[in-house]
């Protein structure tokens, strides 16, 4: 994770942002180790009452959405490798010069052990891809094929590169679905997520007057057309949109799809919405062996992301 700081977009209300990140970090490191990148190591360290499972790393960043500039873990014949794709601030929308250096810095300073780091020149964000761990990658054409990412690479070349790097059997492309207020050009982790290789949870809108309605209905039809590697229809779990949330008159990209699966737990974003309790109950059935930890994420979506966006897992 990267902790909020006064030079990031959180500066207008840093204390409220810190409280959410503290909650997320504490929920994670109760069950596993955490690398926490900070602008001021000692300042942030004082906020935590226990330190044995947290590595506090001082390094300047532009922002905190490490899902999109952190390392992506793969295994090659049993050997763990980390891939460091280029990060260009979601198509040049924001300065990402510092963020793009974080993974290399962590690797150089042995925070990933002896695992080799592959520096890949292709632009790719972790939030733009979703894997079932069995060879299927789910993604969106609006992001991966956007000319603001890799203008000189064709769809076929992107497929070939990702197939090689990730050991894929296939890529499933969604051509519909995007949330208002989302700066990422339709990251998949705001729209549809694998629960297991046969189950996909996806965002849905039941209000015909909501501007999301038609686009998410088309996305649902695309998901219904997909099949597993065995040729079976996916078990599809609808995740209703919470009631519209706004900041300064702008709608925010609130979504329950931006959950995080960590060791023994699932961190579920909530939005002070009547649907929150229903979603907690649903996720308890989807992940019966894990504790479901609801985390109020309204402050996160004010800056365009949520829990999954704020974190990046590194496999053992």
Contact 62, 98 (CB under 8 A): yes
What percent of the chain lies above the pLDDT cut of 70? Answer: 100
| Dihedrals phi, psi of 201, to nearest 5 degrees | -95, 135
pLDDT (average), residues 10-30: 96
Q: What is the mean pLDDT of residues 59-86?
A: 97
Domains of the chain, residue spans: 9-310
Mean pLDDT of the chain: 97
Which residue intervals of 231-315 are DSSP H helices? 275-286, 298-301
CATH of domain 9-310: 3.75.10.10
Each residue's pLDDT tens digit, 191-210:
999 999 999 999 999 999 99
Beta pairing, strands 199-204 & 235-240: parallel
Q: Annotated active-site positions, please?
A: 309
List Cα–Cα distances, 169 to 14, 103, 155, 159, 192, in angstroms.
44, 27, 16, 10, 19
Distance between CA 285 and CA 292 in Å, rounded? 10
Query: Cα 245–250–256 angle (5° rounding)?
Result: 35
Say what the pTM is: 0.96
Sign of CA dihedral 126, 67, 122, 220: positive
Using the CB atoms, write b or e for 265-299: b if 16+ within 10 Å: bbbbbbbebebbeebbebbeeebeebebbbbebbb
- What was the pLDDT predicted at 49? 87
Specify the pLDDT at position 155: 97
Residue 15 has pLDDT above 90, yes or no: yes
Cβ pair 286, 201 in contact under 8 A: yes
User: Reduced to 3 states, what is the DSSP secondary structure of residue 244?
Assistant: coil
């Amino acid at each position: 994770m990267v902790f909020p700081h006064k030079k990031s977009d959180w500066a207008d209300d840093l204390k409220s942002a810190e409280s959410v990140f503290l909650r997320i970090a504490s929920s994670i490191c109760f069950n596993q180790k955490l690398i926490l990148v900070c602008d001021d190591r000692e300042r942030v360290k004082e906020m935590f009452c226990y330190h044995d499972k947290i590595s506090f790393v001082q390094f300047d960043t532009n922002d905190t959405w490490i899902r999109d500039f952190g390392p992506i873990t793969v295994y090659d014949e049993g050997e763990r490798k980390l891939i460091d794709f280029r990060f260009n601030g979601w198509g040049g929308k924001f300065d990402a010069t510092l963020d793009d250096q974080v993974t290399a810095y962590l690797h150089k300073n042995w925070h990933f052990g002896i695992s080799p780091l592959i520096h890949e020149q292709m632009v790719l964000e972790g939030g733009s891809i979703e894997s079932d761990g069995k060879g299927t990658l789910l993604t969106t054409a609006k992001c991966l094929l956007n000319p603001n990412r890799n203008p000189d690479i064709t769809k076929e070349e992107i497929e070939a590169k990702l197939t090689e790097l990730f050991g894929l059997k296939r890529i499933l492309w969604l051509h519909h679905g995007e949330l208002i207020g989302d700066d990422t050009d339709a990251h998949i982790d705001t729209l549809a997520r694998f629960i297991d290789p046969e189950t996909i949870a996806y965002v849905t809108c039941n209000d015909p007057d909501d501007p999301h309605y038609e686009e998410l209905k088309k996305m649902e039809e695309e998901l219904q057309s997909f099949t597993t590697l065995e040729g079976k229809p996916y078990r599809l779990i609808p995740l209703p949109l919470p009631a519209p949330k706004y900041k300064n008159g702008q709608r925010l990209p609130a979504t329950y799809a931006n959950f995080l699966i960590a060791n023994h737990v699932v961190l579920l974003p909530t939005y002070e919405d009547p649907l929150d309790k229903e979603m907690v109950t649903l996720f308890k059935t989807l992940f019966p062996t894990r504790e479901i930890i609801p985390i109020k994420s309204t402050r996160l979506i004010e800056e365009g992301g949520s829990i999954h966006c704020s974190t990046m897992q590194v496999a053992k």
